[in-house]
Structures are given as structure tokens and as C-alpha cells.
A and B are shown apart, each in its own frame.
Chain A
Amino acid sequence: MDKFTTLSGIAAPLPLVNIDTDMIIPKQFLKTIKRSGLGVNLFDEMRYDDDRAEIADFVLNQPQYREAQILVAGDNFGCGSSREHAPWAIKDFGITCVIAPSFADIFYNNCFKNGILPIALPQEQVDVLMKDAEKGSNARIEVDLAAQTITSSDGDVFSFEVDSFKKHCLMNGLDDIGLTMEKAASIDTFEASAAQARPWV
């Protein structure tokens, strides 16, 4: 997995609440057996019209946001399905940090498996960053995972919470499965005792 340590990038504003996984990556793009190549279809139905032409006023189609690396959005981002195609599409587009007042649980977890940092902040702080993002490519937002801070282009500094284990994995690009395999003895022991306690399983 790619590491995430610091990021200084353009933030795209998407001030909608309840952005769901069907919006992020519609179902017709889930028929892939790969993880790559989904960036072109990120927010597909908001981004392209029926003839596959770009919808000019959608944020990621605007020249100043085409290279965005951060997304600032409304409450309950990523609600809906468990599809990891959503973070895959976000990452493939080039966005590695999403800032919102809250995230849906499964999406939030999926981000950390893919080198993406989701940051939940109080609404008023998201509002500040949303305004900052609306300034376009002149405004770069800085994210420092080690320090757990976000700095707006005006110098406002906000600190954010992140689970220590998730932070450790993200900063070091660690593979969860490899880490768990190191605890194989604990799993073996548990499995043996569970087989005694609940033999019907």
C-alpha cells in the first residue's frame, strides 16, 4: 500500500451531504476484476452527460480542480454500499485525502486500506476549508498526518483525530494481512478453543 505522510495540494469543494457510493462510482463500473483504472469514472453520473461529454460546471471538470488531491465534502460522505471501488476510483483520480464532517463506517475503513486519509472535522472547520477550496488552484491545503494537522491557505491550523493503529499503517504503507499473519499463533489458539466451546460452528 502507498504511504501517506504529508500532502500539500489543491482541494476540490463538493458541498453536498450524504454523498453515496453510487454517486462516487456507479454500479456499471463495478464489473471489473481489477482495482485500477476507475479514476476516469469517479463521480461518473455527475461528471458526464448522456453522450459522455463532460459537464462543465462539475467541480472535477473545472480546470483549476483537475489536479485536485483533496476533496472537501458534506456530512456522511461515502454512505451506502461496501464497494471498495469507491476509494479505488478516488485514489486513481489522484485524490488521497477526503475531508468531511462525518463518514460512513465501511467507506472510512476502506480508505485506510488504500493509502487514502479520510479526515472528520467539526462542521465549522469544514466550512472554513470548503471556502478555502472554493478559491481554486491558488489555495493549497496542507495535511500532516504525523502531527495530525490541516493548514488552510490562510494559515488556519486544525487538528484532527485518527486511530493510532490506522495512522501507523498508513504512515508506513503497511499491509494488514502481513501484520495479522504475525499473530497467527493467537488465531490458532483461539480457533482451537472456539472449536471446543462451539463445536457446531
Chain B
Amino acid sequence: MSPKTLYDKIWDAHVAHEAEDGTCLLYIDRHLVHEVTSPQAFEGLRMAGRQVRRPDQTIAVPDHNVPTTAGREDPANMTEDSAIQVAALDKNAKDFGIHYYPVSDVRQGIVHIVGPEQGWTLPGMTVVCGDSHTATHGAFGALAHGIGTSEVEHVLATQTLIQKKSKNMKVEITGKLRPGVTAKDITLSVIGATGTAGGTGYVIEYCGEAIRDLSMEGRMTVCNMAIEGGARAGLIAPDEKTFEYCTGRPHAPKGAQWEAALAWWKTLYSDDDAHWDQVITLKGEDIAPVVTWGTSPEDVLPITAKVPASSDFEGGKVGAAQRSLEYMDLTPGTPLSDIEIDTVFIGSCTNGRIEDLRAAAEILKGKKKKDGLRAMVVPGSGLVRAQAEEEGLADIFKEAGFEWRLAGCSMCLAMNPDQLAPGERCAATSNRNFEGRQGRGGRTHLMSPAMAAAAAITGKLTDVREMM
């Protein structure tokens, strides 16, 4: 048999039909659903008189729209249009008999945090969701990608997706990371190196010592932003850490089934002589704590650098950089660590897991946020929140002057009440710094949870290594 990549192996195990031109029906093991990209899909099913083919493999949770403040179970505490979307998800979940975690359920949270937490996401699976950050689940060695609403409807009706195979890209991070450097710095640095279109047409497999050394939570952070590099999906081969994470999760297999699953999962790695269409290698020791300065995730620099000038770029990036600098209100040559912020947001599917909160709390312990600064922590799920309270992290955040919120997407995309005002500047642990992403006119600097915590203390972008 010819050598295969991990992607090849998962792909081959899920092709339900292949046409002569290579167009495939890829069978989908798990379909995650949220309130924003699904109403039109369910409506389409109703209009065509179709059912959900595998309600037992379809999992819904409201996350994008929901407020992160108390009393949100009452629709009166949501804007009318948000309440309508959440009510539509309630109804669709009930009518079509799919798994559902409403806001009143402690297991509710961001769909990409709930899936792994509940054991829905397992190695070797195909996972889709009408959300681009579905790439997150690739950390388990699951082929996971975002789809549009028409495709959501297609998966609901047929449990398959029409796909052609992508190319294989290997991104290797060799050696060890230096102190203060995290999974977020890896994933941002990779995008900085490849550009936001560098991964277009590819599925990326992240590998190398620095990736193996990451926890499952760090690996989820890395894969989460594969989409920001343009890739259809990001993957990390499962190993003992993966298996340990999955053990005992509510929807993970048990007993003999676990043993059978484990035997297959252990075959899920790229063969030594597998073919790669592209290989990118970064040295772990070369990666620094980074922040973004512009309005594209590729606008990334070490915190020790200075704001670039548009003349530092070529081609279409010259105009884009000029536009970014104006939007971000930054002057070329300014040290990044001189940039003052108004807001700190810790949360999102990128960095809303327990380890992220631990990393931020570690920096904030016994300290206060800068006066006048607005700072919030939004745990990625109700269970993350409960665990953080049990570990005393919530107290550290509250004593530091942070708001301690309920689970949801929150200020990552500002579809709910958590938003930046025009001109406000935010140190954010989320994934996109696009114009208007966190609110019209809002300015976003992406970074790791520890870096965001450091920024909260000083009120400006800060090298976390100075606080360690």
C-alpha cells in the first residue's frame, strides 16, 4: 500500500461515493450546529419535507448570540432578533430530535469547546459545523472544517458533504518553545509566515516536537486558527495525550469499544514517506510572544518589534497595510509595547479553555488591572467556568478587577451585547482582528491569554516575559 498522510487515512475511511471526476461524498460522523448559521438550513428541510438523517450525530448549542451576563435564560434580556434565532434553534432541536445544550444547561458553551469536552469529538472522525473555527477539532486528529449554511442543510439531509480532496501541507515546529511562548504564538507565527491565503487548498498537519509537547488544549488553539491561514482544516496526529483527554468523556466509547477505537486511533499518523505538497518548518526557539498590529491575522510581529510602515510591504499588501494603519490609528516606528489599550478580552474558541484561564490567572494573581481599563473573562463553557471557580481562578480574576462572565462567543465577534465602541482598542485572545470584528470602529490586537493578562496590568501591549 502506498504511504499515506493522516489526512489521506481519515479521508479514505469516509468516502461514501466517488464520481469519475473525483467529486466525493464524504460521510460525516459528527455535525455541530449553532443558532446563527442553521435556521435557513432547517427551514430548507421543512420546505422540502426532509428529515435529519442522523439526529443522533447532530449536536446543537447556542453560543454566538447569547449574552454572557446573568438572566440570559429570559428572552426578554436578549435583543429581539437574537432571541428569535435562539428560539429557532430551540424549536429545531426539538422538532428534529437532535442533541441540544440550551443556555440553562451547565454544559452550554462555545460549540468548539463543548464538542471535545463532551467527547463528541474523537480521533479519526469527520466533524463539520457551520462555523469556520471548526478547524479546532483537528487537534484530535479529526478531519474538521467549517461549512456554509447550504452545506449544513446538505449534511442534515444526507450526512454527507460534496467534497474534492485538498492537498497535503506539513507544518513542522521543531525543538522547544522558550518561556512565555504559547500555542497562540505558534499559530499566529505560522500565519505570519504563510499569510492568510498560504493554506488555501490545503489541509495542514501540524507536527514536530513543539506540537507534541503541547497539551490538548494548546493543540486546539493551534488548529483553531488553521482557517486564518486559509487552510480547509488543521490536523494533529493523536497520541497518548489525546487518548487520555478522551478517556471517560460522556460520549467517548467505553470498555471493549474503547479498546477497539484505541487500536484504530493508534494507526492514525502520517507514514514516514508520505507525500507532502508543501512543507513549512519553523524552529520553536525562534518563536517569540507575538501580537497583531493590523487588521489581518497575518499582520503579526514579536512584541519587541515596532509598528511597520506600508513601504515595508509589496504588491497588494502596501495598500492593505496603509488601510490597516489608518484603521488601527498607528504610527509606523512606534514600539508595539507602547500601544495603550482600553479593553482586555480573554475567551473565545481559540483561548477560552481551562488552561487559558490558568495561564492568565498566573500572571494576574495578586495584581490589579490598570484603572479605567475594561477587562472581561468569558469561559468557553459552563463546565470550564465551574472548574475555574473550583480552582480559585475566578477569584483571582475578580480581585484583579475583571468581569467574570457566563459562557459564549462574547466579544470575539460582537453579535451579542459584548462589543467595542468605535475607536476602542482591545487586547484580545480571540482569532480575528478584521475591521469591525469586535464592534464597528473597534481595534483588535490578537495575543495569548498570558499576554492579554499582562496588558491588563500595564494598560498597554506588554511583553509577558517581563512579568515572569
Binding site for B on A (CB under 8 A): 15-18, 20, 22-23, 26-28, 30-35, 45, 50, 74-76, 79-84, 87, 102-106, 109-110, 113-114, 123, 163-165, 176-177, 180-181, 183-184, 186-187, 189-191, 194, 197-201
Contacts and interface: CB of A to CB of B under 8 A. Distances in A.
20 contacts: A27-B413, A27-B414, A30-B36, A31-B36, A33-B43, A45-B435, A75-B316, A76-B200, A81-B131, A81-B413, A87-B148, A102-B200, A106-B132, A106-B227, A110-B148, A165-B162, A187-B17, A187-B27, A187-B158, A201-B57
Nearest to A34: B40
Interface string B188-202: 000000001100110
B436 A84 contact: no
Contact of A114 (B37, B150, B298, B320): B150
B258 interface: yes
A123 B260 CA distance: 51
B313 to A, nearest CB: 10
Given A33-B39, A104-B197, A187-B17, A26 B436 contact: yes
Considering the complex of A and B, which 6 residue pairs feature the smallest CB-CB distances, nearest first? A200-B253, A113-B150, A190-B16, A17-B316, A33-B39, A110-B148
Interface residues of B, number: 81
A189 B160 CA distance: 13
Contacts of A181: 157-158
Contacts of A199: 257, 260
Given A106-B148, A176-B150, A31 B197 contact: no
Nearest to A181: B158
Contacts, number: 195
Contacts of A176: 150, 154, 162
Contact of B296 (A18, A45, A113): A18
A33 B84 CA distance: 8
B365 interface: no
B284 interface: no
A186 B16 contact: yes
Interface stretch (B18-26, B235-243, B302-310, B340-348): B18-26
Contacts of B153: 177
A123 B19 CA distance: 32
B440 A113 contact: no
A75 B231 CA distance: 15
B240 to A, nearest CB: 18
Nearest to B202: A105
Interface string B32-62: 0000110110010000101000000100000
Interface in B145-184: 145-151, 153-154, 157-160, 162, 164
Contact of B317 (A17, A83, A198, A201): A17
A176 B145 CA distance: 19
Contacts of A105: 200-201, 230-232
B25 A186 contact: yes
A177 B41 CA distance: 12
A15 B150 contact: no
A194 B16 CA distance: 10
B81 A31 contact: yes
A101 to B, nearest CB: 8
Contact of B415 (A28, A186, A187): A28
B434 interface: yes
B230 A104 contact: yes
Nearest to B198: A76
Among A75, A84, A109, A181, chain B packs the most CB atoms within 10 A around the CB of: A84
A82 B162 CA distance: 16
A84 B257 CA distance: 38
Contact of B196 (A30, A79, A180, A198): A79
A35 B21 CA distance: 31
B146 A106 contact: yes
B280 to A, nearest CB: 18
B352 interface: no
A114 B64 CA distance: 24
Contacts of A106: 132, 145-148, 227
A35 B29 CA distance: 27
A113 B197 CA distance: 22
Contacts of B130: 82, 84
Contacts of B432: 20, 22, 80-81
B125 interface: yes
Contacts of B15: 190
B57 to A, nearest CB: 8
Contacts of A163: 21, 23, 164
B257 A200 contact: yes
Given A180-B154, A186-B25, A199-B257, A82 B197 contact: no
A20 B132 CA distance: 13
Contacts of A50: 422, 440
B415 A27 contact: yes
A87 B320 CA distance: 23
Nearest to B125: A201
